Structures are given as C-alpha cells and as structure tokens.
Amino acid sequence: MKKFVFPILFCLFTFVGYAQQKYPYEMSEYTPSSENLKAREEFRNMRFGLFIHWGIYSVLGDGEWVMHNQRIPYDKYKRLADFFYPMDFDAREWVKIAKDAGMKYITITSRHHDGFSMFDTEASDYNIVDATPYGKDPLKELAEECKKEGIKLNFYYSLLDWGREDYGFGKKIVDGGPVDTDWDSYIEFMKTQLTELLTNYGEVGCVWFDGHWERKNANWHYDQIYSLIHDLSPATLIANNHHIQPIPGEDIQVFERDLPGENFAGYSKGVKVSKLPLETCATIGEAWGFNLNEKNYKSPKEIIHLLVKAAGKDANLLLNVGPMPNGKIQPEFVSILNEVGQWLKKYGETIYGTRGQIIPNQEWGTITAKDNTLFVHVLNQPGLPYVFIPQFDKKVLSATSFDKNVKLKFKQQKEGLFIYTGGLKENDIDQIIKLKIK
Ligand code: GLC
C-alpha cells in the first residue's frame, strides 16, 4: 500500500501546481499590431517615468495599504472620501515636476486596491467625482496637461479590490472564481472601467495592472480584458505586475523594486527576463502612497545610479511619488527629482534612446549604447587604474571622457577591454566614457 502513497501524492501536487498556473496561461497566441510595436520602441526610448500613487488613503498619511494594514472596516474607510478635498491639486505643477526631472511619462493610479476610483466612472459611485466634496476628475486635467506638454500618460489599474462584494476578498477560489460571488460581474465591471479609461482620456500609453498575485489561481479572463484594450487602442501597451512570466497579450515586462534579473525585494523569484521592453518601478522613500512619517529618502545620486543601472539592463525606471491629500507633491520629492533632472540635462544623451544588455552590470557600473557609440558609466571607482570590460569583442575606434572629451588609452585583448581612466575627470556620481566602435 505504502508504495502507492508517494506516486499518488506526487500526482496530486503536480495537479494542484498545474491548476494554480492554469488560468494565467489560458491565452490564445498574441501578435502585436504594428502600432503596438512602434509604441514599444517609443516606450523603451523614454527610459524614465513618474509613478504616482494617489487616493483617498493619502488623508491618513500611512501609505496606500492603510485600510488593510490598520484593519479598517471598508464602511468606515469609505468615510475618507467625505474629507478628500485636494484644493491645491494642479496638473500643470505635477507635469512640470515630471518634466523638470527629465521624465517622459506618467503612470498614475486610476484605482488602487481600496477600490476607490480616482476618475469619473459610471460603473460605481465610489469615485472622486461622486463621492468627494472635490467633485472633479483630476485624471482629466492630467490627461489634458500631459497632451499639451508631450508627456505620455499611463494608468495603473488594480485587479484586486478589498471592498466590492463581487470581488469576494478573502473567499476561496473554486473553478477560477471566488465561491458565492458573482465573479463575472466583477470582470464586467473592470471591462466597463477600462473602456472608460481608454475612451475618455485621449491616448493612453499603457495600462499597468497590479494585484494578480492576491489570487494566482483565479481566472482573470485576460483573454477578454487584454483584447478589449488592444481593440480599443492598439498602441496602448499592457503591463501586469503579477510577478510571473509575461502572459500572451502583454507588451512590457515590469519588475517591482528590483532591476530585471534581480530579486532583492523578493517579488521576482524565478522570473526570467523576457524579450519585451522592460521597466522597473521604485520608490523615493519607503512607501508608494503618501506617508507622513517617511524617513528614508533615496539621494539624487542613488536614484541616478538606479536609472543608469536600469538603462544598462535595457529597462526604464518608473520612479514613484505619493502626493499629499491637498494635491501637492511633498517638497522632499520635488527637490530630489529636480537634482536628477539637472543631471539628465547634461547627461541625458547617455540614457534616452539607448539600449542596454551590452554586458552584465559590473561592480564599477554598466554600459548603455546608441548605434556605434557606447557609454561606459563608471558609477563606483574600480580601485585600479583601469576599467575592465569582460568578453568585449567589438572593435573599439576611440575612447574619450564624456565631460571633457579627453582621449583615453585602451587595450583590447582576448579576455576583454581595458580602458585607462587616468584622464577621467573626478566625478562623484558617474564618470562616463564614450566609446566609438566599428
Ligand atoms: C505592490 C503594492 C502596491 C503598489 C505596487 C507598485 O504591488 O500592492 O501597493 O501599488 O506594488 O508596484
């Protein structure tokens, strides 16, 4: 009898494992349209975007998970809408902050896990226009301003909803949906909202989903959701922060708080870097949503290093701010972003429109490339009189310092390229070497 136990258990676990993965992969083949492929390249060229987490949770100044973390019952939490009046919100100011930081796109939370819609929607009254004294649609203003200023606008959209009955938060998933709830009605609700987002706000660069990880074994009906988006707007890119391999229908691969291929934050375990355009999202402080008690801010230097390392891995950086309940972005963020923008004014050529994955990122830094020019970013002093680029087989024509255009000595050998850094100007943030290759 015993000898059957192991095979039976094995089959059972294999089946459960398969069932867990089944739905995400139940997608038909996907061939992106030519508009979509063009949008992907434009997306890659942009390299730097502003993530905005803003909702009624900002009133409590304790991040966007406050309802969940402080175990606030939904009905009580809903009262926050009564006090949400962002009198200082000015879309022009936000877009200017992004532009001054050298950012090319904005991704804003249209609806987060608390289920509150920050836009005018017919699908639910629980939205900024109907449920707050403010009564206006900030996404509309933002869309108009972005269009005027040449900034792409993307919408974050939560799949997870802590409050709606048809989502059935906490319920067991059976046959792809939560028990005793009208899961189909939830899917329809999302489709209605996505249609609104894609038809009422001009061109939308990307829909950025999040929350899949809350119920990995549900049938999210991505086949319907993704084709709805691509049918309404072929150039709109689809991203999903699901922490698994991309699903057919998605156009970019996103990584949370980690560079592609890394897993320090713990969300990307076993996730392989795909051939899709890549994006990494990060916070300036600790939290995504406004945190009154924020203590640890990344320095401009740390952010520049993150941006450069992301570009070296061929990824965009989507850097987050959580505006305050009055609609202002806090001064700490503004000044940090401004310094990053100053750096980009001078060195943007080495980031925008470049491609990465030339070499794996090194202790000393990384490389970005544009046609026959490579930018070697020395972020940390190598501690030797040279920078060594392993397994480099492209023929180098010249090496010069980016700042002063001083010629640098180099030596090409079978094991790699040595560039002698003697002529490099001391630069505390990033010493850039320009390599011309054949
Ligand atoms: C996580 C969090 C969420 C945040 C997101 C940004 O998934 O649940 O609050 O919006 O990361 O990447």
Distance 210 CA to ligand 1 centre (A): 7
Q: In percent, how much of the chain has pLDDT > 90?
A: 89
The enclosing domain of 377 has a CATH number of: 2.60.40.1180
pLDDT score at 21:
45
Check if 281 has its Cβ closer than 6 Å to any atom of ligand 1. yes
Q: Does some domain include residue 216? A: yes
Pick the last residue of a domain from 350, 377, 395.
350
Closest approach atom of ligand 1 to CA 213: 7
- Ligand 1 binding pocket includes 314 (Cβ within 6 Å): no
13 domain residue, yes or no? no
Structural domain including 292 reads 27-350
14 in a domain, yes or no?
no
**pLDDT band at residue 359 under the 50/70/90 scheme:** very high
Cα–Cα distance for residue pair 11/79, rounded to 1 Å: 49
| Least reliable range by pLDDT among 17-26, 276-285, 324-333, 338-347 | 17-26
| pLDDT score at 426 | 66
Residue 301 lies in a domain: yes
pLDDT, mean of residues 242-248: 97
The answer on 346 and 369 residing in a single domain is no
254 CB near ligand 1 (under 6 Å): no
Residue 175, domain member (yes or no)? yes
pLDDT at residue 303 in the model: 98
Q: Are residues 341 and 417 in the same domain?
A: no
Instruction: State whether 268 and 384 are in the same domain.
Output: no
Q: Which atom of ligand 1 is nearest to the CA of 158?
A: 10
146-189 tens-digit pLDDT: 999 999 999 999 999 999 999 999 999 999 999 999 999 999 99
* 296-327 confidence digits (pLDDT tens): 999 999 999 999 999 999 999 999 999 999 99
Cβ–ligand 1 distance for 64 under 6 Å, the answer yes
Query: End of a domain among 296, 322, 350?
Result: 350
- Among 350, 373, 391, the domain-final residue is 350
Examine residue 293 and state whether it is found in any structural domain, yes or no.
yes
- CB of residue 241 inside a 6 A radius of ligand 1: yes
213-229 pLDDT, tens per residue? 999 999 999 999 999 99
47 lies in some domain: yes
- Ligand 1 site, residue 256, Cβ cutoff 6 A: yes
pLDDT value for 241: 98
Same domain? For 209 and 176 the reply is yes
Quote the number of domains for the chain. 2
In this structure, the answer to whether residues 345 and 379 fall within a common structural domain is: no
Q: Do 171 and 216 reside in the same domain of the chain?
A: yes
pLDDT at 10: 45
Please indicate, yes or no, if residue 356 is contained in any of the structural domains.
Answer: no
Instruction: State pLDDT tens for residues 89-121.
Output: 999 999 999 999 999 999 999 999 999 999 999
- What residue owns the CA closest to ligand 1's atom 10? 288
Residues 18-76 pLDDT 10s: 444 444 444 568 999 999 999 999 999 999 999 999 999 999 999 999 999 999 999 99
Q: Based on the domain organization, do 333 and 384 belong to the same domain? A: no
* 249 and 393 both lie in a single domain: no
